[in-house]
Chains A and B, each alone.
Chain A
Amino acid sequence: MSSYSRIPPLLQPHTRLPTDDSILLVTSTLGASANWLIIRFLCEALGRDRTVQGAADDGAVPSEGKEDVAVVLVSWLRDWGFWKNEARKGGGLDLERLKRDKRLAFVDGLTKMCLADLHEGKPESAQTPIERFQGPHQRTPLPTGRAQPTVLPVRGPPGRINARIPGPTAGTSIADPASMSSIHQGPVAQFYITSPTLKDVRSAIEGAIRHVESTGTQRKTLLILDTPSFLLASNPDITTYALSAEVLHLHKFTSHILVHVPADDALISLSEPSQPIEVEGNNFLVKMAHMSTRILSCRVLDTGYAKDVSGVLRITENASARTLDLLNTERDGDERRGRELLYLVKGDGSVKMFERGAGGDI
């Protein structure tokens, strides 16, 4: 069973990347996380084992298997261990191997920017992470207790699986001093964003893109930006327009960009008078939605909690993309209308999708 088959059939037309270069937007809310959806995009890009597919001619999508896509995954809220586990559990992907094959590069926007060094006495820079996080601003100093490594793992963002890291588990690749020191020289390159400035972000991601492109084969690159709106919250100097310009700058080197932005009311609805962070959060989301050709938004069920439904996925396409294709194509009707699907993420990471009213067990 290839990873590609982990994508529910109803979802497949929507995870398939458009033929033209484009930006896609994924939104989530607190109750309806979109991580499973990002994993499905990873499956779409990386999960087709071409040799296997050539042998087993199930004939479903034979021609598209030829497309070779490299992925650069940038995450500001989750670390490598999280994505590795999720991809293995939900998508059946071995991200470590893909990383060694240079089909995937991971840029960590969390570990070196926000967390204290988990292993003391390591030859890191003299600057503590908290100082780095504060950037050039030196706003209100945080309580010193936060810088202590004993406190931090507890207070990290939700979903972080770092608590296990010090143990000899599979997730040691980041925390292990040996692999830490092997940045840019070992067989597996690690990329870190060390401070919330656009300069650092750009250099880290560009490095990762160059890394996956250095294999020499001509292929498309999918850049996944997981919660770049974090930067707006961490550095007040970064404006929506600067950040969206940065996204476009990175789009120059990649064919597709998938941006994941949380769309909770608390983050984007404006109070009176509106706070700068609300304005920036709202504007960045709207701006990305304007720039993207497809929007996939996860939300919880409108009618409340249900045992057999995790949430609703709404997919809308912006058909009239910014190209003049008048003489080439006649328009193809209502196919581009938006669509809503219900989904259920199970404990083992698999996902079931169904239409409204179709019931979960079809």
Chain B
Amino acid sequence: MSTTMIPMTDIDRRILRELPDFAIHVQGDKVPDWFANIRIFFHPAVRTTASSITRASKTDIRSRTSKEWFKPDNRHRGGIRKPRTRFDGRKDITHVMHHPKTLAQFERHAVHLMASVLGLRRASSPFTLVLDDLNQRATPLLNEFMYRALSRNVNIVYVSFESKRTPHPSVTFIPAWDGLTGATLLNEVEQAMKNFTDSLVIVDSLHELFALKDMSMNALFALVAVQYNSLLVGVYHQDLAPDTTKTDPYTPPPLNLLKYLATTIIECKSFAHVLAAKAAAARSLPEPTFGLLQGAEGIIQCLDANDTRGIVLDAEFRRKSGRAEKGKYFLRPSRGSDYHEALLPGQVMGTLKKEFVTTLDKNPVYMSDEVIGLVNAAANGNVGAKTDIVESTFELGLTEKQKAARGEVVLPYFDAQKTMGEAGEGGRILYDMGSEDDFDEEEDEI
């Protein structure tokens, strides 16, 4: 057996450095020709990206005892609550972030923004406003906030206007519907936060804060975000109509005020509805409406509301600089296997292993052929079918053989067309008498 030998290149030397076993194939400074086939895998450009991928996936799984994530001691022992800025210890405070150069960079940056809000980084967002409606409620997102707070050993205070049960025994639950006034509510929240350095305060319906007596949103914000330097997350149901008749006409509507105060606004959308909207947009059709807006009397909730596959988050982050960044994310429901085992006795869950929120564009379903199929189906006005052919019991298509046979058929009046070109004979009728034809003498006599 003989192989053709070709001269050795720099890349071949690189191959031999990484794979010493291949040295036996080398003869002098010549290598077998099949080396050319594997050179591409060792090309410097390919190599660097590949190694960076492996490096990233190695460090991506957070260690169980990560100090970045886990707060071993969250007790507050007096003293001033100082806001920690993100730039602690860095000299380069005037560091200006450049626009991301590649798509990968952009996505990493976008996921980082969301992860820092979800992961309750203190400098990220003091007041997160969550907008939801019946088609996609905020509960999966709130649960995610609480899982991460439990995982990070952050104290959770849950101010509820909509539930009688505490979501978890280790959550401080305040049933605010139970005859509380503004002052007593603020007092209870303060009591719950007092002994902890870091707290997460969740309000499951912000509407009532505006309806409550002697209560103002600003007071709660000042207490939680400013005085206690903790995080506030509030839910606003977009499908509840603001009552314009009872309020002072000169005060802004609640939602405007909340949007003004918020440092991050997250809008929750059902994944199924986002897919449907995408399919409609791709065909320049009007965006479909769901649930109460559907216009059918008696429909409250959409059949595919609250998609169990995950939740789409349409987020706007207001940075300290005043710049707003927007992004769309996909958050799947978290699983027990996403977290390490608990570190402390009594703790429910350990450190988060790996961030699993992704940008929506990274979602395989969102970018898949199935959705493109839906787009085509919508074009045919035939939702459900995935091809361009109308479904019926008849076979309307043609096989290749049938197409070829069709091409060979000679149409009858080619003869007339031929003679048309010759002089003076246009409009001649060519007719061959058939055996069954009955020639009528009198037909031409008018």
Chain A contact residues, CB within 8 Å of chain B? 20-21, 25, 27-29, 32, 239, 241, 244-245, 248-249, 251-252, 263-265, 268, 270, 273-276, 279-280, 282-283, 285-287, 289-291, 295, 297-300, 302, 314, 316, 318-324, 326-327, 330-331, 333-334, 336-340
Contact = CB atoms under 8 A, between A and B. Distances in A.
B220 interface: no
A106 B165 CA distance: 27
17 contacts: A29-B297, A245-B177, A248-B175, A274-B241, A279-B245, A283-B243, A297-B299, A299-B297, A314-B299, A316-B300, A320-B140, A320-B143, A322-B163, A326-B147, A331-B308, A331-B333, A338-B305
Given A248-B175, A290-B162, A336 B308 contact: yes
Interface of B: 134, 137, 139-140, 142-143, 146-147, 150, 161-165, 167-168, 175, 177-179, 204-205, 207-208, 211, 237, 239-246, 292, 296-306, 308, 333-336, 339, 348-349
Nearest to A252: B164
Given A290-B205, A299-B297, A324-B167, 4 more contacts: A25-B300, A248-B163, A264-B297, A285-B300
Contact of B301 (A21, A289, A323): A289
Contact of B211 (A239, A263, A319, A326): A239
Nearest to B295: A265
Contact of A29 (B139, B150, B241, B298): B298
A299 B165 contact: no
B237 A290 contact: yes
B175 A287 contact: no
Given A249-B177, A320-B333, A333 B308 contact: yes
Contacts of B241: 270, 274, 279, 282-283
A286 B162 contact: no
Q: Is the interface of B mostly helix, strand, loop or mixed?
A: loop
A327 B349 contact: yes
A323 B165 contact: yes
B164 A251 contact: yes
Contacts of A333: 308
Nearest to A333: B308
B333 A263 contact: no
Contacts of A331: 308, 333
A285 B336 CA distance: 35
Contacts of A252: 164, 178
A318 B304 CA distance: 11
Contacts of A25: 300
Contacts of A336: 306, 308
Contacts of B242: 279
A326 B148 CA distance: 12
A302 B296 contact: yes
Contacts of A28: 298
B306 A318 contact: yes
A327 to B, nearest CB: 5
B41 to A, nearest CB: 39
User: Most chain-B Cβ atoms within 10 A of its Cβ — which of A21, A290, A297?
Assistant: A290
A324 B300 contact: no
B240 A323 contact: no
A190 to B, nearest CB: 28
Contacts of B305: 316, 338
A319 B162 CA distance: 16
Nearest to A285: B300
A213 B306 CA distance: 36
Given A248-B177, A322-B163, A338 B243 contact: no
A244 B177 contact: yes
User: Most chain-A Cβ atoms within 10 A of its Cβ — which of B164, B165, B304, B308?
Assistant: B164
Contacts of B137: 290, 318, 320
Contact of A334 (B140, B205, B308): B308
A252 B163 CA distance: 10
Contacts of B163: 248, 291, 322
B168 A248 contact: no
Given A299-B296, A324-B146, A330-B336, A241 B178 contact: no
